[in-house]
């Protein structure tokens, strides 16, 4: 998967916005205003930081060499995945997990609003 395919995948999800809140180098994807994915626009390789269930985050890092604790993020909750090495299906699964994790923690009122979109 490359950055353009990742971008299309993210923005196809309900309630997602694409933003540059940290400057022109970091592309951020939010669902209903909450971050679920970040990627650099300046990196030579395609890497993405995704939210992850804490119990699963470490297990993924131990199993896959291309998954590490996310740089500048809380490593308990965020992993960085090398998109050049990760299979597309796995990257989509991890993106879905991140999105769903963030949605599950939204206020019930916001979750209902998201369902209507």
117/87: higher pLDDT: 87
Domain count, the chain: 1
DSSP string covering 6-70, please?
A: HHHHHHTSTTEEEE-TT-TTEEEEEETTEEEEEEESS-SS-EEEEE--HHHHHHHHHH-TTEEEP
Whether residue 61 has pLDDT greater than 80: yes
Over the stretch 21-33, which tens digit does the pLDDT of each residue have? 999 999 999 999 9
Band (44; pLDDT cuts 50, 70, 90): confident
CATH of the domain at 16: 3.90.1150.30
Which residues span the domain enclosing 40?
3-116
User: Which residue matches tokens 């965020």?
Assistant: 78
């Amino acid at each position: 998967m490359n950055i353009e395919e990742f971008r299309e995948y993210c923005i196809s999800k309900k309630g997602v916005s694409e933003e540059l809140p940290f400057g022109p180098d970091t592309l951020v994807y939010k669902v209903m205003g909450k971050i679920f994915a970040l990627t650099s626009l300046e990196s030579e390789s395609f890497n993405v930081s995704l939210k992850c269930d804490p119990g699963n985050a470490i297990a993924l890092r131990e199993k896959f060499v291309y998954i590490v604790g996310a740089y500048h993020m809380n490593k308990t909750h965020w992993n960085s995945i090398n998109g050049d090495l990760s299979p597309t299906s796995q990257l989509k699964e991890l993106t879905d997990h991140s999105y769903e994790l963030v949605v599950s923690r939204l206020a019930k009122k916001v979750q209902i609003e998201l369902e209507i979109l």
